[in-house]
Amino acid sequence: MSQSKPSFTLGIEEEYLLVDRDSRDVASDPPQEIFEECESRAGAGLVEHELLRSQIEVDTRVCHSVAEAREDLARLRRLTSDVAARYGLAPIAASTHPFADWHMQQRTDGSRFQLIARDMRSLSRRNLICGMHVHIGIEDDDLRVELMNQFTHYLPLLLALSTSSPFWRGGNTGLKSYRLTVFDGFPRTGLPERFTNYADYKHNIGILKRAGVISDATFIWWDLRISARFPTLESRIADMCTRLDDAASIAALTQCILHYLYRMHRQGKRCRVYPRFLINQNRWHAMRYGCDGGLVDFDNARIVPVAELLSETVEKVSIDAEALGCMVELEHSLQIPRQGTSAHLQIDCYKRALRQGKSPANALHDVVDWLITETVRDL
């Protein structure tokens, strides 16, 4: 109980796909000038390349509130859109493209990306997916491990509220988050391992480093991980949120739940840690159904609607939201099951176009147009 209180600062990473406004397909080889101008105008280190050249990543600064992080993301989305537009391109905030073919993608140059490509082979080119990562400042090493162990069973809820990848290579997959079926092909993904303390974590990471399997802990890609670069816990399970207000809500939920777990920790109360076997079942439910199929209440062995589970969670962490100043963003999350995630709205857009007599290909074009518009709406 000797740890000082974490800062609970936050940072958000968003990954966008760059699409051609005419063909609506991804731009497999966008001009390098887009990245250079975005980085120059955004600030050093806030705009980056990703594994594939059709992707662009933006990072907020270290923020002291969710509202500040939302403002940063709005600025970065607007900037990326404005610069890309001059080249006939647009960013879309979605975890998969409705019809792009991963076989056509080109890898980004750079030693890290070359290493991934050499190790993963075709899996690296298939990784035409984007995600949202939320960093929460927790400076004490052992506390980060303790909170990682306890936070894991909330991960499926965050995924259920953020799904945006129902299509893959022109087909409706029947899943609300197809992204994770792709990413799970990589090693060291999925739910995080559990460790007794930070020394235990470092020992196990050290085994892989000494064996030459990984060069550092940035090659650990769990849904929730201890950041290798910052004194943060990094939640990585969320799909990209097309609507900015939804992204802010996911960040608020993440921050508030961790604050709640810390508050319980300070009171000597340790929240129950459930078997990964059970949590994985809820992870699959979130992938398959998003907000529609409910999640398993492990204590009562029954399926609970996501809206009900979310309402209980929001009520539980409302004290923490007040302390962190993010009640507005937290309460917005309650609207997501009613309004639908991006996955729901993409499917609605597609079906509406088909009812209007459009071909499946043109209906998918409508989905891309919707994504372009919604990515920069309400900025």
Q: Tens-of-pLDDT digits for all 379 residues of the chain?
A: 456 899 999 999 999 999 999 999 999 999 999 999 999 999 989 999 999 999 999 999 999 999 999 999 999 999 999 999 999 999 999 999 999 999 999 999 888 988 898 899 888 889 999 999 999 999 999 999 999 999 999 999 999 999 999 999 999 999 999 999 999 999 999 999 999 999 999 999 999 999 999 999 999 999 999 999 999 999 999 999 999 999 999 999 999 999 999 999 999 988 889 999 999 999 999 999 999 989 999 999 999 999 999 999 999 999 999 999 999 999 999 999 999 999 999 999 999 999 999 999 999 999 999 999 999 998 8
- 171 is a domain residue: yes
- Which residue range(s) make up the domain with 323? 10-375
Six token digits for residue 282: 């809820």
- 54 is a domain residue: yes
Dihedral angle computed from the Cα positions of residues 248, 250, 255 and 258, in that order, rounded to the nearest 10 degrees: 180
Interatomic CA distance for residues 122 and 280, integer angstroms:
26
CATH number for the domain spanning 361: value is 3.30.590.20
Six token digits for residue 75: 């600025």
Res 296: pLDDT: 97
The closest alpha carbon to 155, from 7, 74, 257, belongs to 257
The closest alpha carbon to 242, from 163, 174, 177, belongs to 163
- 3 is a domain residue: no
Res 3: pLDDT: 67
- 231 is a domain residue: yes
The DSSP output letter for 109 is P
- 5 is a domain residue: no
- 4 is a domain residue: no
- 189 is a domain residue: yes
Res 1: pLDDT: 43
The closest alpha carbon to 187, from 278, 123, 236, belongs to 123
pTM for the full predicted model: 0.96
Dihedral angle computed from the Cα positions of residues 48, 228, 267 and 264, in that order, rounded to the nearest 10 degrees: 50
How many independent structural domains does the chain possess? 1
- 71 is a domain residue: yes
